[in-house]
Structure 1
């Protein structure tokens, strides 16, 4: 399903829950401008805050509002009053796919296909606070340039919808045929990729030349975790 289709379906469920017959009525019910709704349709992305507000106002199941899965309303004993399942009795869980690609935190590794090799479940309320769960993926890290913050073979959670750079934040970035995890700083016309491991010097990319076509922000890193051997 495309982002545009998923967005249209989510907006339709919001309208049903809020008894709205038009985008203008939906905007009034959410306390936002009609332009915000039209903007969401154009981008193909519904802000998680709209779903959370609708769940709070109507008691609807937030997972149903977001994805059309499960009942529109959960039984009272399974909710915490916001339309989300309670963590002790069957939490609202969302499985994020683990993609068949390896991010490099060192010398770089080639990106492979977009297939998946399973996934891991996270609490839905956690993911929605962080961004858009539909744009999130998990990837494994290769290399030691981010040690001790991120280790070789750690998992990282990426939101591919967050590609606008906030200086100092952690991102997965692509340059030429390699993918890296770095903290990003910015200067006029330049990007600085910083490692945590002092053995790796910062890398400065001049985006006013050919580098601009070879550099891309894949997504912001939201979480990392590891399995102990």
Structure 2
């Protein structure tokens, strides 16, 4: 293993710290512990574990300066990055711990490819049409992802876009966008407004070429699949 000073310099580089005080805060230890380690010319093993758990730093890179600076596994989502060239400042690694910096692979569903039972009844089952890598913060147990196959919400949501529906959000907030089930057709993305006088909800498209549709109030709980919480598309 390299000397304390060599390891210490790599730790400072990777954590974007400059002083013992700053590094002590990162490691959640006393500054005197760093002075003690320097005097012994030995880096405590628990430092490597903390740096791995907090930033995904590769212990071998810290100890020897070889291999990727970061590690990656299917479970932790750490991104391997080769060590920076000498004299270059590396990006703050703390960002790699953010949910938006880690990805999750999710299933994409078709909006219209429905399966039916033997007696012809609509089963409301949507087939998988692929996989998509998205930020972890966009995924979740209640998020169902669909590929938009219609132009009714253009230009806001384009045909071919991916939308995330939060199936836990089915209570209507007037003016918000939801995925609504249309019998024997599939999921339709619409902006919903309350029409209390007629005991119904108005389903509106962004595209003026598509007419309004209506959803009876007593069908709301059954037919609203979820609220659109994100949209991924090309410009």
TM-score (ref. length: structure 1): 0.51
> 1:221, 1:205 → 2: CA distance?
17
Does the aligned pair in 2 maintain the 1:95–1:122 contact within 8 Å? Answer: yes
RMSD, aligned CA: 3.6
Pairing partner for 2:213 from 179, 198, 203: 203
- Alpha-carbon displacement from aligned partner over 1:90-114 (angstroms, at most 9, x marks no partner): 8433222212x22xxxxxx453444
> 2:212, 2:220 → 1: CA distance?
20
Correspondence 1:185-196 to 2 at 5 A? 185-188=193-196, 189-196=199-206
Residues 1:75 and 1:119: Cα distance change in structure 2 (over 3 Å): same
Gaps of 5+ in 2: 1-27, 29-48, 58-76, 79-93, 116-124
- Alpha-carbon displacement from aligned partner over 1:100-142 (angstroms, at most 9, x marks no partner): x22xxxxxx4534444343223222x337xxxx0111221112
Residue in 2 aligned with 1:92? 102
3-state DSSP of counterpart to 1:134: coil
Pairing partner for 2:55 from 66, 77, 81: 77
Residue in 2 aligned with 1:35? none
> 1:156, 1:218 → 2: CA distance?
12
* 1:147 and 2:157 correspond: no
**Displacement of 1:148 after TM fit?**
0.6
Residue in 2 aligned with 1:111? 114
> 1:161, 1:206 → 2: CA distance?
20
Residue in 2 aligned with 1:33? none
Does the aligned pair in 2 maintain the 1:138–1:156 contact within 8 Å? Answer: yes
Residue in 1 aligned with 2:134? 122
Residues 1:159 and 1:194: Cα distance change in structure 2 (over 3 Å): same
Gaps of 5+ in 1: 1-58, 60-70, 103-108
**Displacement of 1:218 after TM fit?**
0.8
Residues 1:140 and 1:165: Cα distance change in structure 2 (over 3 Å): same
Correspondence 1:1-229 to 2 at 5 A? 75-78=53-56, 86-88=94-96, 91-99=101-109, 101-102=110-111, 109=112, 111-112=114-115, 113-124=125-136, 126-127=137-138, 133-178=140-185, 179-188=187-196, 189-207=199-217, 212=219, 216-226=223-233
Does the aligned pair in 2 maintain the 1:119–1:138 contact within 8 Å? Answer: no
3-state DSSP of counterpart to 1:153: coil
> 1:213, 1:196 → 2: CA distance?
21
- Alpha-carbon displacement from aligned partner over 1:2-60 (angstroms, at most 9, x marks no partner): xxxxxxxxxxxxxxxxxxxxxxxxxxxxxxxxxxxxxxxxxxxxxxxxxxxxxxxxx9x
**Displacement of 1:170 after TM fit?**
0.7
**Displacement of 1:205 after TM fit?**
3.1
Residue in 2 aligned with 1:26? none
